[in-house]
Structure 1
């Protein structure tokens, strides 16, 4: 899709984006490295990331992604304030949520679709906190996590991006997102960072 679908009449109309939320699972480290690596230094909004990780092992995902991106990349901390130019990754086995003021919270509540962290919970919290100022992006992964969340983002006037299932390493998550009818852009992995940057920059001018 080359153009976003028209906003619903009741959707909040705003002139900027204030948050980007990205979700991935199987194959996600490589995909996240490409997307985060393609965002510009001085990126003007925070980026929140849910990547399904094995909770039995200490993770080095923030270090790995940080070496490939001009953004600062760190594991999210409970109560932390999300800041522009930083990517916050959900720790293993913790749900990541965001509040209206950009305050992050971590939760050990029950699994959603058999996973924790859950893309659905992150996207739903971003939709509730930011409405039309949110961008949600679903990358490679198996399963359906994120599909309910992108519908929540779209229903509040936000913008939704999905990796093209045909080119994704694992098509389950992006395909489930596309099937909701809530996706504005279906893109090859290599184009996603440029589109996110263009959307954020065009709204901030």
Structure 2
């Protein structure tokens, strides 16, 4: 009798991440600098980032982060296809949505949780388009934006990581996310950065639900 085959590891059994959707607010620039600065030039997934900024100001995010990141960084454009290995920032005062054909759409619909762009809308639309191939990350912030969207991500089979509220400048957003949706990984910025960079080699951290 042949011996039974070993079961695949949880990492091997999960689909490769094609999109990383990140939401941040107060204190987010510093944490995003840690995460994006850790990514190698060969990082395989696209990244879509909502960082809450005042709607009446020009966004300087691309010029701020481009020197800190080995990947190309750009502000999202309506109808643009989502390209792997590219960092996309939401434009000020526009919701950034992911279409089922894996392109972006911009919207000026009503604010959600007093925010436009909305993390919830990014996560919810990306969950429909990418399902198990989506990783959503909630970072520091002072509102509940992102909690409902993170729940949708998990319901659709995607992965959810959250910054440890104890390490956040503004712990409300990660705390709401954990309470509402739970998470596959809860840790500080440095460990989040290492885990994100490890996706390059299809290496995932051991999950732990909260």
Structure-2-length-normalised TM-score: 0.87
* Superposed displacement of residue 14, structure 1: 5.0
Supply the distance in 2 between the matched residues of 1:133 and 1:200 (Cα, whole angstroms): 14
The residue aligned with 2:159 is: 159
Partner residue, 1:9: none
| Structure 1 position 188 matched with structure 2 position 188 | yes
Equivalent residue number for residue 135 of structure 2 = 135
| Relative contact order, higher structure (CA 8 A, sep 6+) | 1
- Give distance in 2, aligned partners of 1:56 and 1:95: 15
Gap regions ≥5 residues in structure 2: 1-9, 205-210
* SS of residue in 2 equivalent to 1:106: strand
Gaps of 5+ in 1: 1-5, 7-12
1:58 is paired with a residue whose SS is coil
Alpha-carbon separation, structure 2, partners of 1:38 and 1:158: 22
CA contact 1:161–1:183 (8 Å) conserved in 2: yes
1:48–1:161 CA distance, 2 compared to 1 (3 A): same
Aligned CA-pair RMSD: 1.6
- How far did residue 89 of structure 1 move? 0.3
Determine the C-alpha separation between the residues in 2 that align with 1:67 and 1:183.
Answer: 31
Q: Which runs of 4 or more aligned residues in structure 1 lie more than 3 Å from their structure 2 counterparts after TM superposition?
A: none
User: Structure 1 length normalisation: TM-score?
Assistant: 0.89
Q: Please name the residue that 2:63 is paired with.
A: 63
Q: How does 1:33-72 map to 2 (within 5 A)?
A: 33-72=33-72
